[in-house]
Structure 1
Amino acid sequence: MCGDEGVGKTTLLALIAGALAPQAGRLEAAGTDRARDPDGYRRQVFWVDPRSTEHDAMPGAGYLEAAARHWPALDEDLLADCVDGFGLDEHLHKPLYMLSTGSRRKLWLCAALASGAPVTLIDQPFAALDTPSIRFLRTCLADAATAGTRAWLVADHEPADLGVPAATVWLPARAG
């Protein structure tokens, strides 16, 4: 999902994640209805608002442990590969408030990639990342796209060139 700043990408992700209530209709993920089972719904959908300060006092390792408890299908091996691929080992002992914007983003990307959530929502994943991390993330997203076992919605200003087929939805809709 692509669009300029302020067109509603983050709001739409928050709505799909169940953080905002729909004005009409209903939200369902992996057979779980948000209205009937809000906690169950949130376990089916991965989303972290990159502006969130909710876990700031928690060390990086504690954040990933909490993610593993919240998303029981989290793949520990993939998580370790992501921590290594993003070069986060040296930062896991630090509280999130001490991490740079890029390192915070890498931490939640590790959780997103490994969560096993049937629906994964990622807001501006390439923002504040260094070049090696961008390459690693592109590879991870391309692998996820070809696996076809989870639904991914990535919001950014421009489409990411992953080298695999992916639909692009523009907000607001573009002609043609």
Structure 2
Amino acid sequence: MEAILEAKEVSKRFRNGRGIRNVSFEIGRGEIAGLFGPNGAGKTTLLKLITGLIRPDRGTIRLFGCDIPERFEQGMSRVGAVIETADVYEYMSAYDQMKLAARFYPGLPKSRIDQVLEQVGLTPYRGEKAGHYSLGMKMRLALAGALLPEPQLVLLDEPTNGLDIEGIRDVRLTIERLAAEEGISFLISSHMIDDMGKLIDRLGIMRRGEMIRQGLRRDLVPAGVTLEAYYLSQIRQTKGAEDDGQLDGELA
């Protein structure tokens, strides 16, 4: 399958010593990929590197064959993203916020605003100020903004963080529908594997800035094993190997 996102041996180190090291990951066209790991594992850093918000120290990132950040505009022209928080203007209606965002995309037809609000299920609330929205509705509004330019790939950073059960379900069903009906690929980061685990075709597991496992779900997760059980086993296995290495160093 054609890779629309390729990250190869990507590293980024911050002044506090944290970051990511030699991370490789890819997504094929039409896939829903899940990026899982504990808080602080480096998931958001990887998404920021992919979207050009920060520059890597080493490694290569390509979106639709375009190197990032050198060919940023060309690569990102087919990408939508919600990174870290679903920021909305609470004093504006959903329609007015989409109208404002549409100004960044010259030539975008006016009908696209109504289309994306329909896609995320906000048409009945298009005239209501976002300050009256639930957290789940705000997340759907942010997703609508990411969908405006008709992207082929959407990156979502912790899209269910802080949501109640109904909000989590609504976001999950929206992603599932968009992937099936629109053919949009998704890269979803989360530390809550139950929220998004039912959707994913491709899996990446990060811990302490490293990608410890990555590949197609069907190739990684044994039959009869839940995604949660597989994830926990890999985290424990990696942690155990680190502990053994530390003990060997102390004995030496």
TM-score w.r.t. the length of structure 1 is 0.72
Residue pair 1:34, 1:40 contacting (<8 A) in 2 also = no
CA distance 1:29–1:58, shift in 2 (3 Å): farther
- From the CA coordinates, give the structure whose radius of gyration is larger: 2
Instruction: Choose 4-13 or 30-39, whichever is displaced more.
Output: 30-39
What is the match of residue 140 of structure 1?
174
Q: Distance in 2 between matches of 1:154 and 1:130?
A: 18
Would you say the 8 A contact 1:146–1:164 is kept in 2?
A: no
Residue 82 of structure 2, aligned match among 21, 35, 48: 48
1:21, distance to aligned residue in structure 2 (A): 0.8
Residue among 6, 29, 33 paired with 2:63 = 29
CA distance in 2, matches of 1:89, 1:106: 12
Distance 2:197 2:124 in 1: 21
Distance in 1 of aligned mates of 2:123 and 2:155:
19
**Bigger fraction of residues in strand:** 2
Give the structure 1 partner of residue 201 of structure 2.
166
- Which residue matches 2:126? 89
| Unaligned runs of at least 5 residues, structure 1 | none
Question: Are residues 109 and 68 of structure 1, via their aligned partners in 2, closer, same or farther at CA, if it must alter by over 3 Å?
Answer: same
State the SS of the aligned residue for 1:168. strand
Separation of aligned partners in 2, 1:25 and 1:65? 37
> With structure 2 as the length reference, what TM-score do the two structures score?
0.54
Instruction: Give 2:121's aligned amino acid.
Output: D
- The corresponding residue for 2:22 is none
Say yes or no: does 1:64 pair with 2:95: no
Q: Which has the higher contact order (CA 8 A, sep 6+)?
A: 1
2:113 counterpart of 1:79: no
Aligned-residue identity in percent: 23
DSSP 3-state at the match of 1:144: helix
Rate the CA distance shift 1:86–1:18 in 2: closer, same or farther, 3 A: farther
The aligned length equals 172
Kept in 2, the 8 Å contact 1:32–1:40? The answer is yes
Q: Is residue 29–residue 118 contact of structure 1 (8 Å, CA) maintained in 2?
A: no
2:126 aligned partner, one-letter code: D
Q: Extract unaligned runs of 5+ from structure 2.
A: 1-34, 213-233, 239-252
- Residue 109 in 1 paired to residue 146 in 2? no
Answer whether contact 1:18 1:41 (CA < 8 A) is retained: no
**Mapped partners of 1:12, 1:40: distance in 2:** 19
| CA RMSD, Structure 1 to Structure 2 (Å) | 3.5
Cα 1:115/1:9, change in 2 over 3 Å: same
Q: Is the 8 A contact 1:113 1:140 kept in 2?
A: no
Confirm or deny: 8 A CA contact 1:67 1:111 kept in the other structure: yes
| Segment of structure 1 superposing worse, 19-28 or 118-127 | 19-28
